[in-house]
Amino acid sequence: MRERDLVADQPKIRLIYGKFDAIRERNLNLHTAELRAQAAEEAQQAAEEAQREAEEAQREAEEAQREAEELAAREAEGRRLEAEQRRVEEERRRAAEADVVREAEGRRIEEERRRAAEADVVREAEGRRMEAEGRHAAEAQIAKLQEQLRLLAPDSAYT
């Protein structure tokens, strides 16, 4: 048996042991409360750290979202610019084709004008030739008529 049990009969000793037990119980409760407070503080710190990490993760997610949106916008702009470039190139190609057609039409018209000018020159030459032939024929007719007149009226003023 323990010494305490032996003296448990004595009221003063029991009172002292009771006070000792109360102090020990109170110290134990204080230590438990301190441990609980420390655990609560550590839990609070862990919660705050988790909150900071969650906020950081949220910021990183938002930044990643912004970067993804910017990338998508740049890609869309790139596709729009490529489409615009293809459209401009197609317009240039069509304009070049139209220029070729206009040049060919211009050459055709110029050739027609040249041929028409050549035909005008040929017609003018033919007209001068016919005029000269007509003049020669008229002169020959006049000479023939003058000869006839001279034979018919040798003393006439027309001879």
Tens digits of residue pLDDT in 126-139: 999 999 999 999 99
| Tokens (6 digits) for 152 | 């018919």
Report the phi/psi class of residue 138: left, alpha or beta, with left for phi > 0 and alpha for psi in -120 to 50: alpha
φ/ψ region of 146 (left if φ > 0, alpha if ψ in -120 to 50, else beta) reads: alpha
Please check whether residue 150 is in contact with residue 159, taking contact to mean a CB–CB distance below 8 angstroms.
yes
Average of pLDDT values for 52-56?
93
Does residue 156 contact residue 149 with C-beta atoms inside 8 Å?
A: yes
Separation CA 38–CA 46 (nearest Å): 12
How would residue 1 be classed by pLDDT, with cut points 50, 70 and 90?
Answer: very low
* Res. 159: pLDDT tops 60: no
Identify which has the larger pLDDT, 23 or 54.
54
Do residues 72 and 80 make contact, with C-beta atoms less than 8 angstroms apart?
A: no
Q: What is the pTM of this model?
A: 0.41
Q: Average pLDDT, whole number, for the chain?
A: 87
pLDDT for 69-121, tens place per residue? 999 999 999 999 999 999 999 999 999 999 999 999 999 999 999 999 999 99
The mean per-residue pLDDT over the stretch 24-28 comes to 78
**pLDDT tier, 20 (very low <50, low <70, confident <90, very high otherwise):** confident
Q: Is the pLDDT of residue 8 over 60?
A: no
Which residues, 6+ apart, have CB-to-CB distance to 7 below 8 Å?
A: 13, 14, 17
| Cα–Cα distance, 100 to 102 (Å, whole number) | 5
Q: Is the pLDDT of residue 31 over 90?
A: no
- Sign of the Cα pseudo-torsion (123, 124, 128, 129, in order): negative
Q: Which two tokens stand for residue 45?
A: 């710190």
pLDDT at position 156 is: 63
pLDDT of residue 7: 53
Whole-number Cα distances in Å, 45 to 39, 50, 56, 114, 158 = 10, 8, 16, 100, 148
User: DSSP assignment, residue 10?
Assistant: S
